[in-house]
């Protein structure tokens, strides 16, 4: 197999097995035609890029009924407010600036600019979430970001001062073409700012559920510099973020146009100390994943034997990897509670656990809830105090498998 970025020969260091689409929540009559692929992570020692070997076609994942809406987490909406403000203060100093966002989803980030009458444009291929963004006053083009789109936008809107993305860049396999499109659409001294789940956090926390079809890459600063460096961009600043279980924000500019902050060198050093560049680290990660699977299966097996009821909390994309890798299905998890109407009444991909509205969970009294949206733990714990005071207990599996006391 070859690395997507540099073409070097590389091989998967493990397999999570046959996987369905992470967001392929389905109806019973669709079970027999469900799509599967092999989920195998690999690490390229030449360009330091962590990636999955096979990714389903983008159109199979991002379409007119994509079921993830950014606004489902209030904490994330607040985070986007801070992200927008941070960008505004640092990089929007020119007159009548234009802000573009790749993968703007339901407009949770761009709305901040829209409300302040800042010129903006979102580029979002999933038509349903793009429509939701428009209903919030966010100008949105339904399209995958490409050089053609960038050329058309540069003519219609002018060039962008900043191009933003959040939890999107790691979804796009051909980053060379993203860099070409950025080159067309970005002003000469403009910046590209994006944030994504961070490889260092994933390894440290054994959050292997970050690995699924949509996440074709899990980035480190080494990888981002080597991927975009091929197209004349360099990382000029970085910022560690607590979102989605540990993320990194990268600011990139055309080489030599802006000073490189000390934080970049510091992070590159830290990555070396964490041995993110060594194949051995990924062998250890495979062992961590296997241990996590054994422990989660053992805990759920014990609770079942004791006659306890366990439900899942939040039908996340990430949970598709956990359930299918650990072979956990409706025998162990009665149902999954979720707030998204597009998922409710359907079944989880692959293992076919029913998804039910959150109202059902609130009215029910299960003994245990497996926290699948562990990345929104603070927000969920705050909202679910009643579950806990009624005797309900949380099971978590990141950073380790345990029942929270
Ligand atoms: O990268 C991605 C991130 C940003 O969002 C995408 N590829 C897909 C998606 O990943 P995810 O599905 O793992 O995201 P979340 O934000 O961890 O989970 C969202 C799901 O959780 C939604 O279905 C709504 C649900 N949820 C809930 O039922 N109750 C979420 C919260 C916060 C809640 O309180
Ligand atoms: N930025 C949002 C959404 C992240 S989910 C947030 O952080 O909450 C990933 C989003 O990227 C989806 O809305 C998906 O439709 C979009 N996407 C995937 N591939 C893309 C591409 N090539 N160009 C633009 N957007 C893309």
How much is the pLDDT for 252? 98
pLDDT digits (tens, 9 = 90+) for 4-53: 999 999 999 999 999 999 999 999 999 999 999 999 999 999 999 999 99
Strands (E), 79-169: 98-102, 119-123, 140-141, 160-166
Distance 70 CA to ligand 2 centre (A): 10
Q: Mean pLDDT throughout 324-332? A: 98
Q: Is the pLDDT score of 191 beyond 90?
A: yes
Q: What is the residue with the minimal CA distance to atom 4 of ligand 1?
A: 167
Three-class secondary structure assignment of 340-369: CCCCCCCECCCCCCEEEEHHHHHHCCCCEE
Q: Where are the beta strands (DSSP E) in 35-149?
A: 36-39, 41-44, 49-52, 98-102, 119-123, 140-141
CA 167 to centroid of ligand 2, rounded, Å: 7
CA of 150 to the centre of ligand 2 (A): 16
Q: How confident is the model at residue 359 (pLDDT cuts 50, 70, 90)?
A: very high
Q: Is the CB of 373 under 6 A from ligand 2?
A: no
What is the predicted pLDDT for the residue at 93? 87
pLDDT band at 181 (very low <50, low <70, confident <90, very high): very high
Establish whether residue 320 lines the binding site of ligand 1, counting it when its CB lies within 6 angstroms of any ligand atom.
no
Q: Does ligand 2 have an atom closer than 6 angstroms to the CB of 80?
A: no
Q: Ligand 1, atom 7: nearest CA belongs to which residue?
A: 214
Name the pLDDT band for 94 (thresholds 50, 70, 90).
Answer: confident
Query: Tell me, what's the pLDDT at 254?
Result: 98
Say if residue 365's pLDDT is above 90. no
Interval between CA 48 and ligand 1 midpoint (Å)? 28
Give the closest ligand to the alpha carbon of residue 133. 2
Q: Counting Cβ atoms within 10 Å, is residue 105 exposed (0-12), middle (13-18) or buried (19+)?
A: buried
pLDDT in the model for residue 405: 87
Whole-number Å distance, alpha carbon 107 to ligand 2 midpoint, is 11
On average, the pLDDT of the chain sits at 98
Q: How many CA atoms lie within 13 A of 282 on its CB side?
A: 21
Ligand showing the shortest atom-to-Cα distance for residue 361: 1
Q: How far is the CA of 35 from the centre of ligand 2 (A)?
A: 21
Report which ligand 1 atom has the smallest distance to the Cα of 313. 28
> For the residues 245-252, what does the mean pLDDT come to?
98
pLDDT at 67: 98
For the cut 90, the answer to whether the pLDDT of residue 272 exceeds it is: yes
């Amino acid at each position: 197999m070859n690395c997507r970025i540099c073409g070097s020969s590389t091989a998967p260091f493990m397999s999570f097995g046959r996987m369905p689409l992470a967001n392929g929540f389905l109806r019973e009559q669709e079970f027999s035609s469900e799509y599967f692929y092999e989920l195998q992570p690999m690490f390229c020692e030449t360009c330091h890029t962590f990636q999955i070997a096979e990714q389903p076609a983008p159109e199979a994942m991002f379409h007119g009924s994509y079921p993830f809406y950014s606004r489902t987490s209030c904490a994330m909406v607040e985070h986007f407010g801070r992200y927008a403000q941070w960008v505004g203060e640092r990089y929007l100093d020119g007159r009548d600036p234009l802000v573009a966002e790749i993968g703007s989803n339901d407009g949770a980030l761009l709305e901040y600019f829209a409300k302040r009458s800042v010129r903006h444009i979102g580029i979002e291929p999933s038509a349903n979430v793009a429509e939701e963004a428009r209903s919030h006053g966010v100008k949105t083009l339904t399209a995958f970001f490409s050089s053609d789109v960038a050329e058309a936008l540069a003519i219609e809107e002018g060039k962008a001062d900043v191009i933003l993305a959040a939890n999107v860049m790691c979804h796009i396999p051909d980053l060379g073409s993203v860099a070409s499109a950025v080159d067309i659409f970005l002003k000469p001294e403009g910046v590209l700012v994006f944030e994504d789940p961070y490889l260092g956090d994933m390894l440290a926390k054994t959050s292997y559920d970050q690995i699924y079809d949509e996440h074709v890459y899990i980035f480190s600063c080494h990888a981002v510099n080597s991927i975009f460096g091929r197209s004349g961009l360099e990382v000029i600043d970085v910022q560690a973020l607590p979102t989605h279980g540990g993320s990194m924000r990268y600011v990139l500019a055309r080489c030599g146009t802006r000073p490189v902050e000390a934080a970049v060198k510091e992070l590159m050093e830290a990555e070396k100390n964490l041995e993110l560049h060594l194949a051995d680290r990924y062998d250890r990660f495979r062992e961590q994943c296997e241990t996590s699977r054994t422990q989660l299966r053992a805990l759920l097996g014990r609770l079942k034997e004791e006659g306890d009821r366990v439900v899942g909390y939040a039908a996340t994309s990430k949970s598709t990897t956990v359930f299918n890798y650990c072979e956990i299905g409706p025998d162990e998890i009665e149902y999954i509670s979720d707030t998204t109407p597009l998922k409710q009444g359907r079944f989880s991909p692959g293992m076919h656990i029913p998804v039910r509205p959150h109202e059902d969970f609130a009215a029910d009294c299960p003994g245990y809830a497996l926290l699948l949206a562990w990345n929104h733990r603070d927000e969920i714990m705050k909202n679910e105090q009643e579950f806990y005071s009624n005797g309900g207990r949380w099971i978590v599996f990141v950073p380790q498998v345990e029942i929270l006391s």
